[in-house]
């Protein structure tokens, strides 16, 4: 876990505003689930082994509780018993989550996620909407060169069942190995498959299956003929191709690549799944990921609804944006600093500051009431764009001396027009 300094916080606020605007444009309402859940709620789908991956504890009443490890579980718990909400339900959230992971590059034990979910739609149109939303969020922050890798959990599960693997625990374990192949490499994955009791032939076939993919226009038809037969695989392919067709209607097909190695490690996924990557920074990992989780609502309540969604981590996305110098020059401190020649005009200076603040201008003054030169040094250290120098003569004449801190130019302006003059200077020096 890490502290966030003002410079990074300014970037996070900018990023939040960008993400929130796209969520609103798509009609998603925002909420936030509780950061603390009953441990049994967190275990309901992921099983008791989730205790090794999260922060959990007993409170003073001896209740087993845990810190949320994602936003989806809490959001689904909130929706599962809300029979008053019209379907489809489109909700979103931005908040911090905790995971007891080994800290490593682009991964922390506490990090911030944005999350969007659609409940009540079984059709691939909902999956396509989520993928288009995800792509537009990346576009909005400047990460235009991204790829969305898409697959379907039914394909890999059907394939593994065809190899004779039937136990759900075994299936989940093998899917988790496939999910991390991009991080650990095929050689390490092969060793883990072997330790799981698979023969060399089965390991080879799994690696070959996970390696299939490419441009949908080029590989979709070929893929259908290569895939083994079976009801689950047939349904998975139908869902995958249906999602791609609807993504095309939303104008995002050029961002899509089929990749059967995309399975998503969390066990509640049960349909179409996807991950998005910065094309020039895959070492960072997926900047967002999601998919369908049709059975989760039934676990948490009486309302049985299909659902699909996406979540993205701030930290990884910020790494990609920083590498490409995509963050704007954000000034979080004051834009204007009011400097007093002496203490006799201090009260008048405070009134000017309050006038500027009332007009939406970020303004400040010296609470220490230091000499003029020290005030200007402080203003310069704060990187303010404009300094206003106020003295007895200026007060008497109804003027203020405006200094453009970027160019060094100074001029006298009327107090009655100071707001307009400041706005012009800010626009000129932005």
- We find that the CATH architecture of domain 6-323 is 2-Layer Sandwich (3.30)
Angle at 66 between CA 5 and CA 299, to 5 degrees: 125
Measured in degrees and rounded to the nearest 5, phi and psi for residue 6 equal -60, -40
CA 325 from centroid of its chain's CA atoms = 18
**What is the pLDDT at residue 385?**
92
Q: What is the pLDDT of residue 117?
A: 98
Let me know if 103 is exposed, middle or buried by CB neighbors in 10 A (0-12, 13-18, 19+). exposed
- Asked if pLDDT for residue 95 goes beyond 70, the answer is yes
Q: What is the mean pLDDT of residues 329-354?
A: 92
For the chain, the structural domain boundaries read 6-323, 336-429
**C-beta atoms surrounding 218 within 10 Å:** 10
Check residues 315 and 428 and name the one with the higher pLDDT.
315
To which H or E segment does residue 304 belong? none
Q: Are 260 and 209 in contact (CB under 8 A)?
A: yes
Within 8 A by CB and 6+ apart from 393, the residues are none
pTM reported for the whole predicted model = 0.89
pLDDT in tens, 287-296: 999 999 998 8
Q: Is the preceding peptide bond at 410 cis, omega within 30 degrees of 0? A: no
Question: Is residue 37 within a helix (H) or strand (E), and if so which, with residue range?
Answer: strand 36-38
Distance of CA 393 to the CA centre of its chain: 53
Q: How confident is the model at residue 149, as a pLDDT?
A: 95
Between these two residues, 389 and 198, which has the higher pLDDT value?
Answer: 389
For residues 367 and 346, what is the distance between their CA atoms, to the nearest angstrom? Answer: 10
CA 158, CA 153: separation in Å to the nearest integer? 8
Spatial contact of 303 and 79, defined as CB atoms under 8 Å apart: yes
Cis peptide, bond prior to residue 371, ω within 30 of zero: no
pLDDT attached to residue 47: 72
pLDDT digits 0-9 by tens, 156-210: 888 888 888 888 888 888 888 888 887 778 888 888 888 888 888 988 988 888 8
Mean pLDDT of the chain: 91
Same-fold call for 6-323 versus 336-429: no
From 78-87, 168-177, 229-238, 335-344, the region with the lowest mean pLDDT: 168-177
Confirm if 98 and 305 have CB atoms less than 8 A apart. no
pLDDT at residue number 429 = 55
- Please tell me the class of the 336-429 domain: alpha beta
Contact yes or no for 95/314 (Cβ under 8 A): no
pLDDT at 263 over 70: yes
β-pairing, 29-30 with 89-98?
Answer: parallel
Q: How far apart are CA 206 and CA 305, in angstroms?
A: 32
Q: Distance between CA atoms of 66 and 162, rounded to whole angstroms?
A: 37
- Per-residue pLDDT band at 106 (split at 50, 70, 90): low
| Backbone φ, ψ for residue 414 (5° rounding) | -75, 140
Q: Supply φ then ψ for residue 152, to 5 degrees.
A: -145, 130
The overall longest dimension of the chain from CA atoms, in Å, is 92
């Amino acid at each position: 876990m890490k502290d966030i300094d003002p410079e990074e916080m300014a970037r996070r606020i900018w990023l939040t505003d960008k993400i929130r605007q796209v969520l609103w444009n798509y009609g998603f309402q925002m909420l936030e689930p509780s950061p603390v859940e009953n441990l049994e709620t967190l275990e309901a789908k992921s099983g008791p082994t989730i205790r090794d991956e999260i922060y959990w504890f007993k409170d003073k009443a001896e209740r087993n509780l845990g810190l949320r490890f994602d936003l989806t579980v809490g959001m689904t718990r909130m929706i599962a018993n809300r029979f008053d909400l019209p379907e489809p339900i489109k909700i979103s959230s931005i908040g911090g989550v905790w995971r007891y992971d080994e800290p490593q590059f682009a991964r922390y034990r506490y990090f911030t996620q944005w999350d969007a979910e659609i409940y009540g739609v079984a059709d691939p149109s909902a999956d396509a909407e989520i993928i288009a939303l995800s792509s537009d969020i990346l576009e909005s922050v400047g990460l235009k060169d991204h790829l969305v890798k898409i697959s379907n959990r039914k394909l890999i599960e059907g394939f593994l069942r065809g190899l004779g693997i039937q136990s759900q625990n075994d299936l989940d374990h093998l899917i988790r190995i496939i999910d991390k192949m991009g991080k650990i490499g095929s050689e390490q994955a092969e060793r883990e498959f072997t330790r799981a009791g698979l023969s060399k032939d089965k390991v080879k076939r799994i690696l070959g299956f996970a390696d299939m993919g490419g441009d949908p226009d080029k590989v979709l038809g070929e893929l259908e003929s290569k895939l083994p037969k079976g009801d689950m695989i047939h349904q998975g392919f139908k869902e995958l191709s249906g999602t791609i067709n609807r993504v095309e209607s939303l104008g995002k097909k050029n961002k899509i690549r089929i990749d059967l190695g995309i399975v998503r490690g969390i066990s509640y996924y049960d349909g179409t799944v996807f991950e998005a990557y910065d094309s020039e920074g895959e070492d960072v990992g997926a900047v967002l990921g999601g998919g369908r989780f049709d059975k989760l609502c039934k676990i948490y309540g009486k309302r049985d609804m299909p659902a699909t969604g996406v979540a993205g981590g701030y930290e990884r996305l910020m790494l990609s944006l920083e590498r490409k110098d995509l963050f704007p020059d954000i000034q979080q401190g004051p834009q204007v600093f009011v400097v007093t020649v002496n203490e006799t005009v201090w009260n008048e200076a405070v009134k000017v500051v309050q006038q500027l603040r009332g007009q939406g201008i970020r303004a400040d003054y010296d609470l220490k009431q230091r000499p003029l030169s020290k005030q200007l040094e402080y203003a310069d250290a704060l990187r303010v764009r404009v300094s206003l120098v106020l003295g007895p003569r200026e007060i008497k004449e109804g003027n203020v001396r405006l200094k453009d801190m970027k160019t060094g130019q100074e001029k006298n302006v009327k107090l009655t027009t100071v707001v307009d003059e400041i706005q012009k200077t800010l626009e000129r020096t932005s």
